[in-house]
Structure 1
Amino acid sequence: MSERTPAAVTAEHNPLRDPDDKRLPRIAGPCSMVMFGVTGDLARKKLMPAIYDLANRGLLPTGFSLVGFARREWADQDFAKVVHESVREHARTPFREEVWRTLAEGFRFVPGSFDDADAFTLLARTVRALDEERGTGGNHAFYLSVPPAWFAPVCDQLQASGLADQQPGSWRRVVIEKPFGHDLASAQELNAIVEGVFPPDSIFRIDHYLGKETVQNLLALRFANQMFEPVWNSHYVDHVQITMAEDIGIGGRAGYYDEVGAARDVIQNHLLQLLALTAMEPPIAFTADAVRAEKEKVLASVRLPEDLDAATARGRYTAGWQGSEPVPGYVEEEGVDASAHTETYAAMKLWVHTRRWAGVPFYLRTGKRLGKRVTEIAVVLKRAPHLPFTDTATEELGQNAVVIRVQPDEGVTMRFGSKVPGTQMEVRDVTMDFGYGASFTESSPEAYERLILDVLLGEPPLFPRHEEVELSWRILDPIIDHWAASDTPPQDYPAGTWGPPCADELMRHDGREWRLP
């Protein structure tokens, strides 16, 4: 068997195979990843397990190396122990000792702070040694799993130490996590800093939602099926609802969340990306430039309603019940500034001023401590123009809808009217459901598996460029500024409910109502 097709993987069963070569899986070439912030929750719960899962599925080269960088006095074996615990607790695929041993041979650790020039000199020596000892070929990705305030210092150190230098025949890439700034001005400043060190094609901005299978399936649903695209427009669609609801509170993120709030945390990135994918025109190909071009057109065409008081809503959860457990309100969470008007719920109506979507409102909402954890896109169609039935036969009939479930139950639901069995003509809503778990024998890879592999492969279709980031801030900034100028605090809603009354009023104003997922 060739080096490119290890026994652990076959093209027929690999969902991440090269789309241009159906015979071979997509396997990363010689490389390493340097991870900053290895002591954080993201690295422990998502990144390290994803790297092991990729190795377990045969998608990493034998010489792949992982370098941890943190302010800890660890040796290589201490770092390996941390990764081992993380993998055992959070990996998606079964633990295999032989895979672990091979992977762990490439673990290295460099102690130091992000502004320590000597530590970066040591990191540069470590990386060069990996090229010689592990055959990484000068190919290195730098994952900045750190607060945005440290992006600039780390990039400066990478440049000063020569680690960011692009060598002929090899590559250097940087990965940064959201948030990409806290408004348009800070996003532009951040983009200038990062692009001053790395070329644009070497910068990968991670929005983990774009790595989810169902988000990618949205493009397949729209553009691979003739049955959907003819009705995916204002002639047939009444409105679109995009929801990301969480049943958890802020946890230990009070310091971060007080500065950000629900709109900046979720709507600026996740939900506006979902809007762009839902509303975009067909790209000429599934390439990075083609997909981005269509998404940017959508974001550039978004317009805000004139009356932002009527078209937006914000709330903050109070004490209540989550399931059978009592939970505290936001202001009672540890570390929260009770005097700040931080919203834990945000909703808004947006218009997409294109020929396809003229007159179709897009409703976006997100919140903490809501009724259940769910992310979905609901494309709600207009009612049939004529029903040849009596009113009593269709009194419970709603509107047809195509609902793309992003999490946790990945799949697609279609709601339509059907006759109730019996001698009389009675039509009621029914649903037809497609679930990934029931339709495919293998489980979907985690978002970070797909995204990390794409970084190592240098394939960027799922990563937003700075133009998309800045367009998103241009949409959200006026709403944030409007809220800041208002004397009205976020409206309370009890934990475990579906948001504040003002959110329901937003929909009633338009003669509509929120879906109950």
Structure 2
Amino acid sequence: MAKENTAVFTFFGASGDLAKRKLYPSLFKLYQKGYLKDRFAIIGTSRAEWTDEQFEQIVAESISGIKEEAKDQASEFVSHFYYIAHDVTDKAHYAALDELITKLDEQYNVGGNRLFYLSMAPNFFGQIALNLKSEGLITEEGYNRLVIEKPFGRDYKSAKQLNEELTSTFEEDQIYRIDHYLGKEMIQNIEALRFGNTIIESMWNNRYIDNVQITLSEKLGVEDRASYYDTSGALRDMVQNHILQIVSQLAMEQPVAFTDADVRVEKVKALRSLRVYTPSEAAGNFVRGQYDAGDTGNQYREESGVPADSNTETFVAGKLLFDNYRWSGVPFYIRTGKKLADKFTRIDVVFKKPLIDIFAFPQKSDAALQANVLTIYVEPKSGFALKVNAKSTGQGFETEPVNLDFFQDADKEKEVPEPYERLLHDALEGNSTNFASWSEVAYAWKFVDVIRKLWDIEDPNFPNYLPGSMGPVASDELLQRDHWAWVYKLNK
């Protein structure tokens, strides 16, 4: 049975696109499943001068497509929403906000539980946190939790300053840094796959694994995010958070227990052992790209809002190395980019071939044993596949690769919580397993900063890949130098 959670939510940035597309529908799903029932209230804040009724209408529209038969539930759910116009830089506005939160706390018998969600420009994060404390919105009764969206800083220095501002009000265990990739079903399955199966974990090391490949591919370009994206780029937007979070789960040691504290300890240990490159090492182990014009659409530099001389990368590929006993000598190859062949996320774990191919001697063909590959399909389909070698059907004795696979069926896929639904529930429960700790963020920035500083002083040869490809040629050459190739490649 679902456990009812009680809280007053305050959404800073309630008029934003993320709130309408993800947050309100996710909260409604929690309501439908019984994780929210009667004892909750949601306050939306922004500069817009809306009434409660206008805000309720916006929320109702955002959840209208979930279930036609849920109209009665939707009406009751929306009645828990309230609105207050708020300038986060004006301390006087916090008194009115506190008065409303206190009123709703008593009205809904919430018990002092306050959850503040910051879904707005990150330059306001620190100021909001400081004002929440100075103006008395942090309560002694119940809990106070702060949920914040990325980006968390632009580099290590700015991230450290932001963290100091947040921790002057909130303790580390009260801060929930959202990374929606950590809410994805198959990312959370990494730990179940590794630590729930002796056959997998016993081979999860440099004795048996040759390399690990992580691909986060996007089919679309920057679309309407150009103004943000051009100040960020693929390295900051994808590698520093999503990809390094996935890497830490793949590389971590087994935690003492499956608790948020123990899992975070091991993720931090893994990121501490990630080799921070020198500038010359970064130049040899990372490549970047920017998409050109294709049959339809513009090249990146011609997108609306992008400077004609922009050197912002829309593609990154790199080789990561760990300096620890488990992973010494095993490269982790990563790549991500926009306007690639398709939209998907996958992890390919490539195992070492047998030292001796005993089947090669009697074979008359050139076929040789292929490497075993464990593939974790994150999206759009969810599942696993293990490529093994088997005997070909027929006379003689030749081998061929076959797949042992499992994929979620359509009915079960419908039951899988959306990432924001899962993460909002975890924040209500006080479970920070799938949120990034400050130490994880810090080590990720220290790794990325070297690459970013190098690229900021180099003049790249952009654009250097076509839409519909899997990135620039240099991405393939990165693996070819180690006598490997990307497991997923286009049949061209």
- In the alignment, which of 46, 50, 68 is matched to residue 26 of structure 2? 50
Amino acid at match of 1:332: E
Equivalent-residue separation in structure 2 for 1:308 and 1:254 (angstroms): 27
Confirm whether residue 240 of structure 1 aligns to residue 212 of structure 2: yes
Q: C-alpha separation between the residues in 1 aligned to 2:19 and 2:341?
A: 29
Contact 2:346 2:375 in 1 (8 A): yes
SS at match of 2:198: coil
**Contact kept in structure 2, 1:28 and 1:453, CA below 8 Å:** no
Q: What's 1:15 paired with?
A: none
Residues 384-399 of structure 1: matches in 2 within 5 Å?
384-390=354-360, 391-393=363-365, 395=367, 397-399=369-371
- For residues 207 and 139 of structure 1, do their structure 2 counterparts lie closer, same or farther at Cα, with a shift above 3 Å needed? same
1:310-349 alignment runs, 5 A limit? 310-321=284-295, 326-349=296-319
Offset, 1:136? 1.8
Contact 1:64 1:103 in 2 (8 A): no
Instruction: State yes or no: 1:39 paired with 2:21.
Output: no
- Structure 1: 5+ residue runs without aligned partners? 1-10, 12-24
In structure 2, the residue matched to 1:63 is 39
- Determine the structure 1 residue equivalent to 2:271: 299
Paired residues of 1:29 and 1:457 also in contact (CA < 8 A): yes
SS at structure 2 position matched to 1:259: coil
Aligned-residue CA RMSD in angstroms?
1.7
Hey, what's the Cα distance between the residues in 1 that align with 2:56 and 2:153? 33
Aligned residues with identical type, % of pairs: 38
Cα distance in structure 2, aligned partners of 1:229 and 1:151: 40
User: How far is the alpha carbon of 1:138 from its aligned partner?
Assistant: 1.3
Look up the SS of the partner of 1:303 in the other structure: coil
Task: Note the 1:21-36 alignment, pairs <5 A.
Answer: 25=2, 27-36=3-12
Structure 1 distance, partners of 2:411, 2:94, is: 48
Q: Residues 392 and 256 of structure 1: is their aligned pair in 2 closer, same or farther, counting only changes over 3 Å?
A: farther
- Conserved in 2, the CA contact under 8 Å of 1:314 and 1:490? no
The equivalent of 2:135 in structure 1 is 161
| Equivalent residue, structure 1, for 2:50 | 74
What are the within-5 Å matches in structure 2 for residues 208-357 of structure 1? 208-304=180-276, 307-321=281-295, 326-357=296-327
Structure 2 SS opposite 1:433: strand
Letter of the 1:314 partner, please give it: R
Instruction: Give the number of equivalent residue pairs.
Output: 485
TM-score, with length taken from structure 1: 0.91
Say if 2:125 is the partner of 1:151: yes
Matched, 1:142 2:112: no
Post-superposition Cα deviations, 1:262-284, rounded to whole Å, max 9, x if no partner, equal 01100000100111100111000
Residue of structure 2 equivalent to 1:461: 433
Question: What is the CA-CA distance between 1:481 and the residue it aligns to?
Answer: 1.1
Matched with 2:106 is 132
Structure 1 residue 479: Cα displacement: 0.9
Q: Which amino acid aligns with 2:287?
A: A
Deviation at 1:486, TM superposition (A): 1.9
Residues 218, 338 of structure 2: 8 Å contact kept: yes
Contact 2:299 2:463 in 1 (8 A): no
The one-letter amino acid of 1:459's match is N
1:45-124 map, 5 Å:
45-89=21-65, 91=66, 96-124=70-98
Q: Matched residues in 2 for 1:488 and 1:421: separation?
A: 51
* CA spacing shift, 1:282–1:78, aligned 2, 3 Å: same
C-alpha displacement at 1:388, in angstroms? 1.8
Question: What displacement does 1:474 show?
Answer: 0.9
Provide the C-alpha distance between the structure 2 equivalents of 1:94 and 1:231, rounded to a whole number of angstroms. 48
What displacement does 1:133 show? 1.3
